[in-house]
A and B are shown apart, each in its own frame.
Chain A
Amino acid sequence: MLEATIILQILWTSLATASYYVLFAVAFALVLKVTRLFNFAQAAIMTIAFYTAFVAVQWLAWPAWAAFAAMLATTLAASYALERIGFEALRKRGVSVMFVFVFTFMVSEFVDYLAMLIFGTWPQTIFPTMFWPVTLVGNIAISAWDLPAMGATVGALALLFAFMRFSRVGQFMTGVADNPDLAELYGISKRRIFLVTMLIAGAFSALGMFLYGTRAQVLPQTGLSLMLFAVAATIIGGIGNVAGAAIAAVILGVIQNASILVISSEWQGFLLYVFLFLAIIFFPNGLRLPQRRRFVTAAREALVEQDAPAAEGKA
């Protein structure tokens, strides 16, 4: 009985913490899908987001909503600058993929060192305390942080889905992701779509860091670790598959949390690097979902069967 309670508790905590992992993975996967860039500078955006909220709450004593608004503003500004000053200039110069890799990584490292210089190397949180009141439901402890965090993530994902599906700009993003040159022939501005993608990723990173920073301690290097988690989820989810990255992030989060049952806590952080390697070695093209393929194939076959009598009728 105790075993079942522990397992349910771990599952619940994993699902709750997955709220920020999913946001980081979606941000990384979306930029990779649309702009085809491994944007390691996302770690820099995440660091900027956290320390903006930290300064707003701890130094300026702003309320939480104002701190969130401030972090959203700085991350959007940083994403805008990164796209317009960095990536756009690099695209114009026709630089190699290697150059972009090194550039984004160095931007992240630069912001890390800047954060270290200003805020020191000790852990910080957005609010003075990271402990939230807990309610027992059955024997499962549910903190006051869990449901709002999960709700915010689900809301953000629903908004993104609706935006991609129903808005013109969202549809243009899919078009540019599929074939940027062809999309441009149809009058879609790649430049604008790349910027919108970076801004959405920036907003997701900000929300993710707000959730993370209100529940856990953050160091200047935390952004890089969290981003590597997103990279592993993106690879396992299948490059170009944003929903796959989100699902992979949830699964990896559950595995990492559940690992406490079998390995000691000091090795838990090491699991991230194991994920990264396993992703590259075994799932470089993402996990294939055979059932989904079968469903698509079956649907296609059904359509062919429907068309065949119609074609015969016409003949």
Chain B
Amino acid sequence: MEYLDGLIVIVGLYVILAASFNLIIGYGGLVSIAHPVFFALGAYASAILARDLALPVPLAMLGGTAVALAASIALALPSLRVSGDYLLIASIGFQLGLLEVIKNLRFTGGSSGFINIPPFLIRDFGRASYVALVLAATAGVVFLVRWIARSDYGRAMSAMRDDELAFASIGRNAMWMKIAIFALGSGLAGLAGALYAHYFRFVTPEQFELLQSAAILTMVVVGGMRTTWGPVVGALLLEALPQALAFLNLPPSVLGPIQGLLFTGLVLVFMFFRPQGLVPAQDVWRGARAAKESR
């Protein structure tokens, strides 16, 4: 039962990560691979606030979310000031660089990880209560992204993404819209991190490496970008696969690379043979010029 609870929590958190990443890459058209590092920032910040600064866990979780949100603005502001292309380059450096920092700092626990994170709800109300909290947060994030995408702001987002020049010519500021989308998506990843930390109560830098970037990207690409249910389907499928692999009892030195090959291979296969993903939206990957020419 504990295994099942843990599985539901993990799947729920990955749905949050995939849905929030869909907001950034799908609806916002912003390419970044640093989503796992915001997940890490949320987890570490919330854990440190609760354990070392003795803040109540709900406040620590909010703090973790805020730290991820603020860090994402610090990343997006200088890169987007130049061009959207630089965001990807900056995000690679941010992802690898910040993990390097976490590994070398004493108060984060270094490479061996951060332990004894205070639990939340589980001691007083049992594991089911935390599972319910995660499921509520998951549903909340999925419907928040859906609501944003279908609102006036969502239509403005798609106008900005499809033709930035035309969008700017009607007096709208594309850069601030991109920063807002990136910050919201990354803040939600931070929330997922905070929820992770107070359930599993142990975090290490290895959990947030490039493998996670590939995993989250795969969930969105395979599931279907710019759709509500695509990332949900992607996260469910791709969290089930590693669980199935775990039953093969492979050593971690083999299991890690196999998972990595599976995630990156699936992205490449889907990009070439089914770019719309399992739950299709239209013209997801096509360039604006190509889309115009086909009209």
Contact = CB atoms under 8 A, between A and B. Distances in A.
Interface in B65-97: 78-79, 81-83, 85-86, 88-90, 92-94, 96-97
Given A94-B293, A274-B97, A280-B79, A112 B285 contact: no
Interface stretch (A2-10, A73-81, A98-106): A98-106
A101 B31 contact: yes
User: Counting chain B CB atoms within 10 Å of each CB, which of A38, A121, A273 scores highest?
Assistant: A273
A95 B287 contact: yes
Given A96-B286, A116-B260, A276-B89, A102 B254 contact: no
Given A38-B89, A102-B267, A103-B268, A116 B289 contact: no
B177 interface: no
Nearest to B98: A273
Say whether chain A's binding surface is mostly helix, strand, loop, or mixed: helix
Contacts of A277: 78, 90, 93-94, 97
A226 to B, nearest CB: 13
A280 B260 contact: no
Given A96-B285, A273-B96, A277-B90, A106 B267 contact: yes
B271 A103 contact: yes
Nearest to A274: B97
B149 to A, nearest CB: 18
Contacts of B93: 228, 272-273, 276-277
A113 B264 contact: yes
Contact of B261 (A117, A235, A281): A117
A89 interface: yes
Contacts of A121: 253
Interface in B120-159: none
Contacts of A107: 268
B28 to A, nearest CB: 11
Contact of A94 (B214, B268, B275, B290): B290
A227 B79 CA distance: 19
Contact of A269 (B100, B265, B289): B100
Given A106-B264, A113-B257, A113-B260, A228 B286 contact: no
Contacts of B88: 38, 101, 105
Contact of B104 (A103, A120, A221, A270): A270
B221 to A, nearest CB: 8
A281 B93 CA distance: 13
A254 interface: no
Interface in A259-288: 266-267, 269-270, 272-274, 276-277, 280-281, 284
Contact of B254 (A95, A112, A117, A270): A117
B227 to A, nearest CB: 17
B214 A114 contact: no
B230 to A, nearest CB: 16
Contacts of A114: 257, 261
Contact of A98 (B31, B94, B289): B31
A274 B101 CA distance: 11
A38 to B, nearest CB: 7
Interface string B246-280: 00000001101110110011011001100100000
B42 interface: no
A276 B88 CA distance: 12
A221 B92 CA distance: 13
A117 B258 contact: yes
A96 B287 contact: yes
A193 B288 CA distance: 25
Contacts of B57: none
Contacts of A235: 89
A88 interface: no
A95 B268 contact: no
A97 interface: yes
B213 to A, nearest CB: 8
Interface string A220-241: 0100110010010001000000
3 shortest interchain CB distances as A-B pairs: A94-B290, A273-B97, A113-B260
17 contacts: A38-B89, A98-B31, A101-B31, A102-B221, A103-B271, A106-B264, A106-B268, A109-B210, A109-B260, A113-B260, A114-B261, A273-B94, A273-B96, A276-B92, A277-B93, A284-B81, A284-B83
Interface of A: 38, 89, 93-99, 101-103, 105-107, 109-110, 112-114, 116-117, 120-121, 221, 224-225, 228, 231, 235, 266-267, 269-270, 272-274, 276-277, 280-281, 284
